[in-house]
């Protein structure tokens, strides 16, 4: 099974043992506002703050060969040119290993007795990547080698960089110092930022003009200069600026040489841009180069990075008898939650970094995965998101991280959006107990002077959905609900328009049972919060929730499961009466999490139906049977081939909804089985079948009706991370943060039912040994109190 790599739990690394993985297996670096994507062959790019507007390295998406562009070391040893990460030359290596760790990647290659160990990380303190490469001569002969360090600059705006050639092939400018190359494209005018690639020793030759380094018709795999062991000492004027730095090294047998590189980004104050007319003020860059100029300094920065992650990941740990569970909980799930929080859905090997900013809905859900680690940043994120809301409770669907301003680039008017603000805020409050956030003044649409309290935003959000009901008393879906592709008011017949942005037909009355479930679940939470605050609106929230429950029971129950929606004309969607897509997952998950009709057995029935009709070998599919043709009244969902994405794919994001609902219903084995199916550490799919990284969740795994069921796509940036975290930490392991303490209420098969949890909660530390028994009390409440607590709990 593990043909391409394995977990190293002790060092919290995933070890990739061959470079030709079925898809580039990537990692992320960065913790503040400078981020990098790095593949197992050192491909990828970096940016500061915004993957679209402040792109530093150029990258070729979906290129041929795959994964072109990155930070490449070329080693010229005799007649052989090779890379420690195998790509781009793909010279066969005698040894290869890539270790993706928490915020860093190590790549080691060996060829003909020369070993190259490289370490890449983004330090905590600076906006840069640090690259350290150690070359060791393990042969018994002296070696004369040339090392080239190479990167290609992106001309800042990643979008126009790929489009506006009439301009940008003339704009590239560089400056060269003996040990550093500076990318100063457009620095002369409106930009006051530049990037640089420097080394801790002067180079023996360089190129900054791509054509001179590679040759006009060569790829990255055959740079003419490196093949010849030369440099053109070229200075780029327009075209495509690069940084290619050559070092001539003599290595005695057993000798090691270490070189350190800094790939940095600097913003200068407008009045301190230049040190002389037209010459970059390089003070900040020189400081950064100095900060990482020795191995000792790099070691210290790297140790600080490791300590940062040790601290974050030390806040919730489990020690159980299931290693797959432990490595998911202790390392990879939490790490993925952090990355998803940082990136939202902007930059991955499936998201170009150009198209999507921070989603209103997505970012609120992401909070549930990180609030226990970085509560302060969660707080800020909530306030940023709320500030993009409109006075009527409607929302921009996304905002751009650089400006924090909302935009409608990927549509607006999604019926579920406002409720997620309640979801995110409640998660924050239960974790932190910091009610002061509710009093924070927050504007509408970022307009100064329009501020109301965050609590008022929540009320407006709730009211927006409570008053936006359709003919059956169910929430109007708008452009779509959580399922972006269920476009019931759109009727698109034009292949050139986007389902996400096209004008909807006026007067659309389509209603969503997914939003109804979300409304009831979040409404109950909101009412509880208002009651705690002694706020008189609590009772009207409660009655709106009750009314919704009635509407669902009356108009949303199909006999064996919950309907999915009513379409524009009032027709049922997700009903046994339908020809296709008779049942959908989202309404089963949400209505059952909201416990609608639980007393009458509706939740149990709905969950059993989900198992019966939606479960397959690799998880629960979204809908079944999938749509077999395009149906313009349903929209984008039916545009996908069967078994993929929202049309019958295993959309992993929504599987935890069912798992949580199963746990709430006490269906222990069902919850566990669903969880192990979608969690990659359990290794249900071979690496070749899964294709994408075996250490992170995917947005989607191809479903039963697909051509290749089990094949993963859209790894890394997905709400799956936060939802599986919530699911495993709160519902399977059963550690639920509450306003006044921790509620221990596990749902795990008895055979795994004894485990230890370490949980930091606010300023307290809890060491809890949990023993699940048959017929125990089911749950135990641990009141919050500061200090350290060692507890044994039998449930
Ligand atoms: C994508 C979107 C998310 C949406 C989901 C289902 O993951 O980021 O907002 O809910 O697709 O369509
Ligand atoms: C497409 C995708 C969906 C995603 C949306 C974002 O509709 O199918 O998953 O959420 O685009 O714009």
Residue-wise DSSP of 556-576: SB-SSSB--EE-TTS-EESST
Ligand 2, from 361, 498, 646: best to mutate by most atoms within 8 Å of Cβ? Answer: 646
- Does the CB atom of residue 483 touch ligand 1 within 6 A? yes
The arithmetic mean of pLDDT across residues 151-168, rounded, is 97
> Is residue 281 within 8 Å of 266, Cβ to Cβ?
no
Paired strand residues for 280: 274
Structure tokens belonging to residue 765: 């530390």
Q: What angle do CA 746, 747, 753 make, to 5 degrees?
A: 75
Catalytic option among 67, 484, 558, 670? 484
Q: Which ligand is nearest to the CA of 410?
A: 2
Can you tell me the distance from the alpha carbon of 38 to that of 153, in angstroms, rounded to the nearest whole number?
16
Q: Which atom of ligand 2 is nearest to the CA of 636?
A: 7
The arithmetic mean of pLDDT across residues 143-159, rounded, is 98
Task: Check pLDDT > 90 for residue 310.
Answer: yes
Ligand 1, from 362, 486, 637, 644: best to mutate by most atoms within 8 Å of Cβ? Answer: 362
User: Residue with the nearest Cα to atom 4 of ligand 2?
Assistant: 484
The alpha carbon of 570 and the centre of ligand 1 are apart by a number of angstroms equal to 25
Per the listing, tokens 């290993």 go with: 97
pLDDT, residue 356, reads 77
Task: Check pLDDT > 50 for residue 34.
Answer: yes
Show Cβ contacts of residue 209 under 8 Å, excluding neighbours closer than 6 positions. Answer: 232, 234, 235, 236, 237, 239, 240, 241, 242
Q: How many CA atoms lie within 13 A of 354 on its CB side?
A: 14
**E strands, 459-601, where?**
511-512, 565-566, 572-573, 583-584
User: Residue with the nearest Cα to atom 9 of ligand 1?
Assistant: 362
Task: Check pLDDT > 90 for residue 247.
Answer: yes
Cα Rg for the chain, rounded, in angstroms? 27
| Phi, psi angles (nearest 5°) of residue 712 | -90, 150
DSSP 727: I
The alpha carbon of 485 and the centre of ligand 2 are apart by a number of angstroms equal to 7
The arithmetic mean of pLDDT across residues 125-149, rounded, is 98
pLDDT, residue 2, reads 59
Average pLDDT for the chain: 97
- Cβ count near 682 (within 10 Å): 14
Ligand 2, from 356, 500, 640: best to mutate by most atoms within 8 Å of Cβ? Answer: 500
| Phi, psi angles (nearest 5°) of residue 778 | 85, -45
Per the listing, tokens 């060569």 go with: 218
> Is residue 101 within 8 Å of 13, Cβ to Cβ?
yes
Q: What's the gap between Cα 397 and its chain centre?
A: 17
| Phi, psi angles (nearest 5°) of residue 410 | -115, 35
Structure tokens belonging to residue 688: 């070749």
Sign of CA dihedral 495, 501, 503, 504: positive
203-214: per-residue pLDDT in tens?
999 999 999 999
pLDDT, residue 403, reads 85
For 116, 125, 677, the CA distances from 288, given in Å and listed in that order, are: 24, 9, 46
**E strands, 252-353, where?**
256-267, 274-276, 279-280, 316-319
Sign of CA dihedral 649, 651, 657, 662: positive
Task: Check pLDDT > 50 for residue 1.
Answer: no
> Is residue 129 within 8 Å of 262, Cβ to Cβ?
yes
Q: Which atom of ligand 2 is nearest to the CA of 645?
A: 8
Q: What angle do CA 157, 160, 162 make, to 5 degrees?
A: 110
- Does the CB atom of residue 127 touch ligand 1 within 6 A? no
Q: Which atom of ligand 1 is nearest to the CA of 483?
A: 12
The alpha carbon of 416 and the centre of ligand 1 are apart by a number of angstroms equal to 12
364-400: per-residue pLDDT in tens?
999 999 999 999 999 999 999 999 999 999 999 998 8
The alpha carbon of 662 and the centre of ligand 2 are apart by a number of angstroms equal to 27
Per the listing, tokens 């603000």 go with: 421
The alpha carbon of 356 and the centre of ligand 2 are apart by a number of angstroms equal to 10
Tell me the H-state helices in 585-667: 585-593, 602-614, 655-664
The alpha carbon of 132 and the centre of ligand 2 are apart by a number of angstroms equal to 39
Task: Output b/e per residue, 631-669; b: 16+ Cβ within 10 A.
Answer: eebbbbbbbbbbbbbbbbbbbbbbbbbbbbbbbbbebbe
- Does the CB atom of residue 484 touch ligand 1 within 6 A? yes
String of DSSP letters for 191-229: --EEEEEEESS--SEEEEEHHHHH-TT--TT--HHHHHT
Can you tell me the distance from the alpha carbon of 636 to that of 646, in angstroms, rounded to the nearest whole number?
9
Sign of CA dihedral 738, 743, 749, 751: positive
| Active site (annotated) includes residue 688 | no
Structure tokens belonging to residue 540: 């009207």
Q: Which ligand is nearest to the CA of 482?
A: 1
The arithmetic mean of pLDDT across residues 197-224, rounded, is 98
Can you tell me the distance from the alpha carbon of 22 to that of 349, in angstroms, rounded to the nearest whole number?
13
Tell me the H-state helices in 265-320: 283-291, 295-313
Q: Of 284, 194, 283, 174, which Cα lies nearest the Cα of 236?
A: 174
* β-sheet with 128-137: strand ranges across: 5-8, 13-16, 95-101, 104-111, 114-121, 128-137, 256-267, 193-199, 180-183, 174-177
String of DSSP letters for 87-108: TTTTPPPSEEEEEEETTEEEEE
Structure tokens belonging to residue 560: 């064996």
The alpha carbon of 339 and the centre of ligand 2 are apart by a number of angstroms equal to 20
Structure tokens belonging to residue 569: 């004309």
The arithmetic mean of pLDDT across residues 763-782, rounded, is 96
Q: Which ligand is nearest to the CA of 722?
A: 1
Per the listing, tokens 């990075």 go with: 305
Ligand 2: residues whose CB is within 6 Å? 410, 484-485, 500, 636, 645-646
In three-state form (DSSP H/G/I as H, E/B as E, the rest C), the secondary structure along 4-70 is: CEEEECCCCEEEECCCCCCCCCEEEECCCCEEEEEECCCEEEEEECCCCCCEEECCECCCCCCCECE
* Percent of the chain scoring above 90 in pLDDT: 95
Residue 503: which pLDDT band, with cuts at 50, 70 and 90?
A: confident
Can you tell me the distance from the alpha carbon of 627 to that of 644, in angstroms, rounded to the nearest whole number?
11
Q: Of 757, 761, 754, which Cα lies nearest the Cα of 794?
A: 754
- Does the CB atom of residue 745 touch ligand 1 within 6 A? no
> Is residue 488 within 8 Å of 591, Cβ to Cβ?
no
């Amino acid at each position: 099974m593990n043909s391409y790599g394995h977990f190293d739990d002790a060092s919290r690394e995933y070890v990739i043992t061959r470079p030709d993985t079925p898809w580039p297996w990537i990692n992320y670096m960065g913790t503040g506002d400078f981020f990098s994507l790095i593949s197992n062959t050192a491909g990828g790019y970096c940016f500061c703050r915004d993957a679209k507007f402040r792109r530093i390295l150029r990258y070729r998406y979906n290129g041929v060969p795959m994964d072109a562009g990155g930070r490449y070391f070329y080693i010229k040893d005799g007649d052989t040119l090779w890379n420690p990460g195998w790509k781009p030359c793909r010279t066969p290596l005698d040894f290869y290993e890539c270790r993706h760790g928490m915020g860093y990647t190590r790549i080691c290659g060996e060829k003909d007795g020369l070993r190259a160990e490289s370490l890449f990380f983004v330090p905590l303190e600076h906006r840069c990547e640090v690259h350290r490469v150690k070359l060791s001569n393990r042969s018994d002969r002296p070696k004369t080698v040339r090392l080239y360090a190479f990167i290609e600059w992106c001309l800042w705006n990643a979008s126009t960089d790929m489009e506006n050639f009439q301009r940008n092939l003339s704009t590239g400018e560089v400056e060269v110092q003996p040990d550093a190359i500076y990318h100063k494209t457009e620095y002369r005018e409106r930009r006051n930022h530049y990037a640089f690639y420097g080394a801790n020793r002067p180079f023996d030759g360089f190129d900054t003009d791509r054509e001179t380094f590679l040759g006009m018709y060569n790829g990255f795999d055959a740079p003419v200069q490196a093949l010849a062991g030369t440099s053109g000492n070229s200075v780029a004027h327009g075209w495509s600026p690069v940084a290619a730095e050559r070092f001539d090294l003599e290595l005695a047998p057993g000798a090691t040489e270490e070189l350190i590189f800094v790939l940095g980004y600097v913003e200068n104050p407008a009045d301190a841009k230049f040190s002389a007319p037209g010459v970059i003020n390089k003070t900040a860059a020189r400081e950064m180069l100095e900060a990482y100029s020795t191995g000792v300094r790099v070691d210290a920065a790297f140790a600080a990075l490791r300590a940062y992650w040790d601290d974050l990941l030390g806040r919730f740990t489990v020690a159980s008898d299931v290693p797959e569970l432990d490595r998911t909980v202790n390392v990879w799930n939490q790490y993925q939650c952090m990355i998803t929080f940082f990136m939202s859905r902007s930059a991955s090997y499936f998201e170009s970094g150009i198209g999507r900013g921070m989603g209103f809905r997505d970012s609120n859900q992401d909070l549930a995965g990180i609030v226990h680690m970085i509560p302060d940043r969660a707080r800020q994120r909530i306030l940023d998101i709320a500030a993009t809301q409109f006075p009527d409770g409607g929302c921009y669907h996304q905002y751009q991280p650089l400006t924090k301003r909302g935009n409608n680039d990927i549509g607006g008017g999604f019926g579920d959006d406002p409720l997620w603000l309640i979801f995110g805020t409640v998660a924050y409050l239960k974790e932190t107990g910091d009610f002061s956030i509710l009093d924070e003044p927050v504007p509408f649409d970022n307009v100064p002077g329009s501020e109301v309290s965050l609590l008022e935003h929540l009320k407006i959000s709730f009211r927006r959905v409570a008053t936006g009901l359709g003919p059956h008393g169910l929430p109007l879906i708008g452009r779509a609900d959580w399922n972006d592709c269920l476009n019931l008011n759109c009727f698109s017949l034009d292949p050139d328009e986007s389902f996400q942005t096209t004008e909807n037909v006026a007067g659309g009355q389509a209603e969503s049972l997914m939003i109804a479930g979300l409304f009831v679940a979040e409404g109950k939470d909101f009412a509880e919060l208002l009651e705690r605050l002694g706020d008189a609106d609590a009772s009207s929230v409660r009655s709106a929730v009750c009314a919704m429950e009635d509407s669902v029971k009356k108009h949303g129950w199909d006999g064996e499961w919950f309907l999915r929606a009513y379409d524009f004309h009032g027709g049922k969607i997700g009903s046994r009466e339908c020809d296709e897509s008779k049942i959908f997952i989202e309404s089963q998950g949400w209505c059952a999490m909201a416990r609608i009709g639980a007393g009458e057995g509706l939740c149990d029935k709905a969950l059993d139906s989900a198992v019966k009709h939606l479960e397959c070998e690799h998880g629960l599919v979204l809908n079944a049977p999938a749509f077999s043709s395009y149906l313009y009244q349903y929209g984008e969902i039916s545009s996908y081939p069967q078994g993929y994405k929202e049309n019958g794919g295993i959309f992993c994001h929504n599987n935890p909804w069912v798992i949580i609902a199963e746990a709430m219903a006490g269906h222990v084995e069902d919850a566990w089985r669903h969880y192990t199916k979608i969690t990659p550490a359990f290794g249900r799919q071979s690496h070749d079948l899964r294709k994408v990284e075996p250490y992170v969740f995917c947005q989607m795994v191809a479903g039963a009706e697909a051509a290749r069921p089990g094949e993963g796509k859209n790894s890394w940036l997905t709400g799956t991370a936060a939802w599986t975290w919530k699911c495993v930490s709160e519902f399977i392991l059963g550690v639920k943060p509450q306003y006044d303490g921790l509620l221990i209420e596990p749902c795990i098969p008895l055979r795994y039912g004894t485990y230890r949890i370490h949980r930091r909660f606010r300023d307290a530390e809890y060491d809890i040994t949990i023993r699940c028994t048959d017929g125990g009390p089911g749950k135990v409440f641990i009141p919050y109190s500061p200090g350290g607590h060692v507890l044994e709990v039998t449930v």
